[in-house]
Amino acid sequence: MRTRPMRAVLSALGIAIGVAAMVAVLAVPASSAQALHDKLAALGPNLLTATQGQSLTGGKAQLPADAVAMVKRIGPVIGAAATGLVPNTTIRRSDRISAEETSGVSVLTADPTLLDVIGGHLHSGSFLTAANENFPVAVLGAVAASRLGIDHVDPAHPTQVYLGGQWFTVVGVLDSMPLAPEIERSALVGKSTARALLGFDGHPTTVYVKAAESAVADVRAVLGATINPESPLGVAVQRPSELLEAQALTQDTYSALFLGLGGIALLVGGVGVANTMVISVLERRREIGLRRALGATRRQIRGQFLAESVLLSGLGGLVGVLIGVLVTAGYALSQGWPAILPPQALLGGVAISALVGAVAGAYPAMRAARLPPTQALA
């Protein structure tokens, strides 16, 4: 290996690439899963949403106007708040912009307690309160603010938007809300203002419910019947955290695919090591013959070439593990995730590479051991 360093490097390179791919494929999803777990813990896995389900006529069922008050009667419920879609209402930066240019931003009414229930945070400004919800003010979700070109609120020079044919003052911009993406793409106004200026009928379209973690399943089971006793099937109840978990399962599917590709790269690397060892046996026949003539047994010759093959693959595995760790750490850092390095992936990478080396070197080692000394010296 010292006399032919370039050949050793190229032979170990395939092993290193395969092991690096396998380590990264195992470690990156582990880092993503930990980040998802931390995110769910921070956002609250005890959040439920009740939305309009299908009515008997095939359309959307209407939620009662007093849905929030009815939900709060459930014992384990910690808090509840609602949003309501204001139909046929658009928001624009100016009245000079065409009404068709909505930028995909909808207008919702919101209760002042909404942020407390869904665990949301303000990026800038303030939220709807009892003091301002009766006035033409609006709070923008993160995506809505970006589409409207508003990144912060300046109290000295407040920004106004043209909403439903009225000028509204933007008093707040929200941070991202992974558990409530519909709020990210909306402008929020007070219910009283929406009734007076926008023709809102008072019926919510989504009710957010925060329950005790130990009783989430029980609250979910009775939520539909509590909101709409006459038609419980007209209420669609979901747990937003399950959607994020479903996304994680999708990522795991892709991880399995890439793990298979890493295994193929490792197999190709093993073939490369086997090819190198076969060539090495052919090139070193005189050396083998000389050692046999000096008393080396077939077992010693076989052990020499097998050890060389395992060492070659093992070094490739060590380099691959190092590359996989660097790739995982770099990617996790770029995504703001904790870098999780499963010990089984690190130790398994070296062990698998050594095993591949043993399998790849078995035939060349046996071939070298069977080589007669007289033929080798000739």
What does the pLDDT look like over 78-131, one tens digit per residue?
999 999 999 989 999 888 888 778 788 999 999 999 999 988 899 999 999 988
Higher local confidence (pLDDT), 90 or 373:
90
Residue 234: domain span: 47-239
Token pair recorded at residue 69: 């008050």
Residues 6+ apart with CB under 8 A from 349: 19, 22, 23, 317, 320, 321, 324
3-class secondary-structure state, position 56: coil
Question: Comparing 95-99, 123-127, 257-261, 313-317, which segment has the lowest mean pLDDT?
Answer: 257-261
Q: Which string of b and e fits 287-316 if b means at least 16 CB within 10 Å? A: ebbebbeeebeeeebbebbbebbbbbbbbb
Q: Which pLDDT band, with edges at 50, 70 and 90, does 287 fall under? A: confident
Can you give the pLDDT at residue 259? Answer: 60
Can you give the pLDDT at residue 41? Answer: 58
Of 221, 239, 257, the domain-final residue:
239
Instruction: Please indicate, yes or no, whether residues 213 and 320 belong to a single structural domain of this protein.
Output: no
Instruction: Please indicate, yes or no, whether residues 87 and 156 belong to a single structural domain of this protein.
Output: yes
Instruction: Please indicate, yes or no, whether residues 281 and 221 belong to a single structural domain of this protein.
Output: no
Higher local confidence (pLDDT), 266 or 145:
145
Of 215, 239, 263, the domain-final residue:
239
Question: Comparing 34-48, 78-92, 303-317, 348-362, which segment has the lowest mean pLDDT?
Answer: 34-48
- Does position 334 have pLDDT exceeding 70, yes or no? yes
Query: For the residues 267-271, what does the mean pLDDT come to?
Result: 72
CB–CB of 182/206 below 8 Å? yes
Instruction: Please indicate, yes or no, whether residues 208 and 317 belong to a single structural domain of this protein.
Output: no
Can you give the pLDDT at residue 266? Answer: 65
Can you give the pLDDT at residue 260? Answer: 66
Q: Which pLDDT band, with edges at 50, 70 and 90, does 356 fall under? A: confident
Can you give the pLDDT at residue 129? Answer: 92
Can you give the pLDDT at residue 206? Answer: 94
Higher local confidence (pLDDT), 41 or 38:
38
Can you give the pLDDT at residue 253? Answer: 52
Q: Which pLDDT band, with edges at 50, 70 and 90, does 294 fall under? A: confident
Question: Comparing 175-184, 258-267, 366-375, which segment has the lowest mean pLDDT?
Answer: 258-267
Q: Which residue has the tokens 């050949």?
A: 7
Can you give the pLDDT at residue 358? Answer: 86
Q: Which pLDDT band, with edges at 50, 70 and 90, does 46 fall under? A: confident
Mean pLDDT for all residues in the chain: 83
Instruction: From residue 178, give the alpha-carbon distance in Å to each of 114, 122, 173, 184, 328.
Output: 15, 14, 15, 9, 24
Can you give the pLDDT at residue 261? Answer: 62
Instruction: Please indicate, yes or no, whether residues 199 and 66 belong to a single structural domain of this protein.
Output: yes
Of 176, 208, 239, the domain-final residue:
239
Question: Comparing 51-55, 180-184, 213-217, 238-242, which segment has the lowest mean pLDDT?
Answer: 238-242
How is residue 4 annotated by DSSP?
S
Instruction: Please indicate, yes or no, whether residues 211 and 248 belong to a single structural domain of this protein.
Output: no
Instruction: Please indicate, yes or no, whether residues 176 and 191 belong to a single structural domain of this protein.
Output: yes
Instruction: Please indicate, yes or no, whether residues 156 and 27 belong to a single structural domain of this protein.
Output: no
- Does position 138 have pLDDT exceeding 90, yes or no? yes
Higher local confidence (pLDDT), 343 or 265:
343
Nearest to 48 by CA among 89, 20, 77, 27: 77
**Count of the separate structural domains present in the chain:** 2
Q: What are phi and psi of 3, to 5 degrees?
A: -75, -20
Instruction: Please indicate, yes or no, whether residues 135 and 275 belong to a single structural domain of this protein.
Output: no
Q: Please give the Cα distance from 10 to 103 (Å, whole number).
A: 54
Instruction: Please indicate, yes or no, whether residues 319 and 177 belong to a single structural domain of this protein.
Output: no
Instruction: Please indicate, yes or no, whether residues 300 and 372 belong to a single structural domain of this protein.
Output: yes
- Does position 290 have pLDDT exceeding 80, yes or no? yes
Instruction: From residue 332, give the alpha-carbon distance in Å to each of 24, 34, 245, 326.
Output: 11, 11, 19, 10
Instruction: Please indicate, yes or no, whether residues 172 and 126 belong to a single structural domain of this protein.
Output: yes
pTM of the model: 0.59
